[in-house]
Amino acid sequence: MTKGIFGSIIFIGIVSAVFGVMAPLHEIWHWLAAFLQGVDATMAWDVTYMDTSQAGLFIGYAGMYGEIITLGLIFFKLVQKKHFAWATFFLGYSTSFIIAILLVIFTDFLPIDLEVMLGNCNKVAVYGVFIVWVGLYGLVLLGQYLTVWEFRGEFLGIGSSNRSRRLVEGVKRIKKEHEDAEIRENRYKPLTLVQ
């Protein structure tokens, strides 16, 4: 894929995250955490309904932690299967969290998960676990971008054009022909007798 296509797919991934195209990937973890704690919860596309007074740190952060780990695992599995366009989409989706982090840090914006947890839990604990999540997110995103760097030929089209491939194949063919010629020349040399 070319750099333009790579950038376009990253942009589509970011826009998809902003509009919650894959919101159930986040909500399923809230629902699962509530189920594990015995809290009645119902999951919709982009929200999990439950008695918010029962939403502690485990239920509140299950969505954020579960989502970023799942996005990372999907990305790495797609790269392993050589589905680089889909992996790029998930990279863009993961990259979109930078926007949310910057909004939380520099503005009064708070995702609903943080608002509920701040209402139910100690603020220091909520922000402390958020900082740990930011660290985990940074590691996942770093791993994704290092993977893109490692497979940059497939992701960005660097060094993988037809012209460069033909050039490399031509050089290999010329080397092979030269080696074959030397072998033939040595095979048919007349023997000399040494006395």
Examine residue 58 and state whether it is found in any structural domain, yes or no. yes
Query: Is 187 part of a structural domain of the chain?
Result: no
Give me the DSSP letters along the chain.
--HHHHHHHHHHHHHHHHTTTTTHHHHHHHHHHHHHTT--EEE-SS-EEE-GGG--HHHHHHHHHHHHHHHHHHHHHHHHTT-HHHHHHHHHHHHTHHHHHHHHHHSS---HHHHHHHHHS-HHHHHHHHHHHHHHHHHHHHHHHHHHHHTHHHHH-TT-SHHHHHHHHHHHHHHHHHHHHHHHHHHTPPP----
Contacts of 103 (CB under 8 A, 6+ apart): 109
How far apart are the C-alpha atoms of 11 and 52, rounded to whole Å? Answer: 34
Q: For residue 61, give both structure tokens.
A: 């952060």
* 188 pLDDT higher than 60: no
pLDDT digits (tens, 9 = 90+) for 131-151: 999 999 999 999 999 999 988
Question: Average of pLDDT values for 19-47?
Answer: 89
Residue 10 resides in a domain: yes
In-domain check, residue 175: no
Residue 173 counted as domain residue: no
Residue 7 is part of which domain span?
Answer: 3-158
> How many domains are contained in the chain?
1
Establish if 51 belongs to a structural domain: yes
Residue 158 confidence (pLDDT) = 62
In a domain, 85, yes or no: yes
pLDDT recorded at residue 111: 86
User: Does a structural domain hold residue 169?
Assistant: no
pLDDT digits (tens, 9 = 90+) for 111-133: 888 888 888 888 999 899 999 99
More confident residue, 169 or 146: 146
